[in-house]
Structure 1
């Protein structure tokens, strides 16, 4: 099957393209948001092929996966075909709603020409999708292996654009948490974070790190800290668990489902997260034990085989 999808979310796509199909990823000369092409920092198989927009009318496409509202018009214009009629379509929703959350209508609400897929049950619960068929296919992770050493007595945090995103990512909580455990913040656009928060380098170090180096760096830290208030489900949390890291996490959105007892500490109280961070910092054996529990839980629920099997079932149903 030839599946057309845009390169929007590198970590999610890395898992999706491990399936048994051919994956067509639009590329434009500027490699802008609608034409990023193949990932440069993730390892994608040869089954992922870049295709220019003017090639798509001559390219067989069996199914389209959309991830942003404007991609519907783009796909119809570039393919010269009607989505949902000439070619089956799935709309994948990565994000939790924002704004007036309990009343937020999904852009694909009340449609009969597509299937809406959420990456978490929390998302499906909070989006109002009306009569549109809505499914949940939980995340899957390409297992990086049990790399945890924890020999660096600091907490790893992974977040992109923490200054701009502020309270969404729990950036305002970092000064208090940094008093309990020194933080190493990895991600994109982290420049100036320590100065923004008024923290010294020994309490918070921020570094933009390529994906190929991220897992090894995370696994050296004693624990993983996830202070995010509002997101669907951070894939960095699931990756940390796969690495064998104990996790200290705000009990918000889907995190309460992802982190079982014994894998770390969940709480809506920042002071409880600080206490847990101190515990793991001072008790490396407990950190390693809980990290092993976290890894097994992540393999059981967010393993790649289950993820690909779920998608194969859905894709078969949508095309039938």
Structure 2
């Protein structure tokens, strides 16, 4: 099967292109948001193929996967075929609605014959899909290996653009947690974060790393802290669990589903979470035991084989 999709979410797409199909990825000069092509920081198989808009015009496509509202127009223009009328279409929604919750109508509701796929049951509950059929295919995460050492008595945090995203990512909560343990914040757009929050550099450090380097660096920290208030289930949380890290997280959106008892501490009480951070930092053997539970839990629920099987079933259904 030949599947057209845009390279929007690197970690998710890395898992998706491990399947048996041919994945057509638009590429543009400069590799901007609408034409990133193949990943440059992940190792993708040869079935992930770059095509320019001109090449797509003459290419047979069995399925279009949309991830952003304007991609329907791009697909129509570049393929010369309309998703939902001339070629089967699925809309993959990664995120929670941002405004008018819980009354936000999803863009897929306006696309004919479009199946809407959510990555969490929470997201499906909160988006209004109108008459569009909906389903959930939970994340699948490639196993980075049990890399956890926890040798550094610090908490790892993964947030892209924490200054811009602010309360959504729990950026304002970081000083509270930094009082419990020093933090290392990994992600893009983190420059100046410590100064913005009024924290000394030793209490909050920032780094931007490529994926494999990121996994190795995170695994040396004693625990993973997930302070997100309102976002879909973060792949960084699942990846940290796969590394064998104990996790401390806000009990929001789908987090409680992903982190079962024994795999970490999940609460909406910042003081409870700060105390959990202190405990993991002070008790490395306890942290290691909880991290082993986290790794077992994520392997059982979010393995990439289950993820690819779920997607294969759906693609067969929508392309009959």
The TM-score with structure 2 as length reference comes to: 0.99
Q: How much has 1:108 moved relative to structure 2?
A: 1.4
Q: For residue 125 of structure 1, what is the aligned residue in structure 2?
A: 125
Q: Answer with 205-214 or 290-299: which moved more.
A: 205-214
Specify the alignment match of 1:101 in structure 2: 101
Report if aligned partners of 2:84, 2:111 keep a CA contact under 8 Å in 1: no
Q: Is the 8 A contact 2:85 2:112 kept in 1?
A: no
**Runs of 4+ displaced beyond 2 Å:** none
2:183 paired residue number: 183
C-alpha distance in 2 between matches for 1:97 and 1:167: 15
Counterpart contact for 2:169–2:230, Cα < 8 Å: yes
Alignment of 1:1-320 (within 5 A): 1-109=1-109, 111-320=111-320
Secondary structure in 2 aligned to 1:181? coil
**Contact 1:112–1:133 (8 Å) recurs in 2:** no
- Cα shift readout 1:131-159 (whole Å, capped 9, x = no counterpart): 11001000000110111000111000000
Corresponding residue SS for 1:205: strand
Q: CA deviation at 1:104?
A: 1.1
1:54-107 per-position Cα deviation (integer Å, ceiling 9, x unaligned)? 111111111111000000010011000121122111100001001121111111
Provide Cα deviations, 1:250-290, integer angstroms capped at 9, x if missing partner: 00001011100000000001111100000000000110000
TM-score, with length taken from structure 1: 0.99
Quote the Cα distance in structure 2 between the aligned partners of 1:80 and 1:112.
17
| Distance across 1 between alignment mates of 2:162 and 2:209 | 14
Q: Structure 1: which 5+ residue stretches go unaligned?
A: none
Work out the CA distance in 1 between the residues paired with 2:139 and 2:108. 21
Query: CA offsets per residue over residues 37-68 of structure 1, 9 Å max, x none?
Result: 11111111111111000111111111111000
- Residue by residue over 1:167-213, the C-alpha shift from the partner in whole angstroms, topping out at 9 and shown as x without a partner, is 00000000010010100000111111111111111100011112221
**CA distance in 1: counterparts of 2:158 and 2:92, whole angstroms:** 23
Q: Which moved more, 1:101-110 or 1:193-202?
A: 101-110
Once residues 305 and 116 of structure 1 are traced to their aligned partners in structure 2, the CA distance between those partners, rounded to angstroms, is 21
Count of residue pairs the alignment pairs up: 320
- SS of corresponding position for 2:275: helix
Q: Hey, what's the Cα distance between the residues in 2 that align with 1:172 and 1:302?
A: 30
Q: CA deviation at 1:110?
A: 5.8
Pick which of 176-185 and 96-105 moved more: 96-105
Contact 1:3–1:21 (8 Å) recurs in 2: yes
Contact 1:110 1:131 in 2 (8 A): no
Please tell me whether the aligned partners of residues 109 and 131 of structure 2 are also in contact (alpha carbons under 8 angstroms).
yes
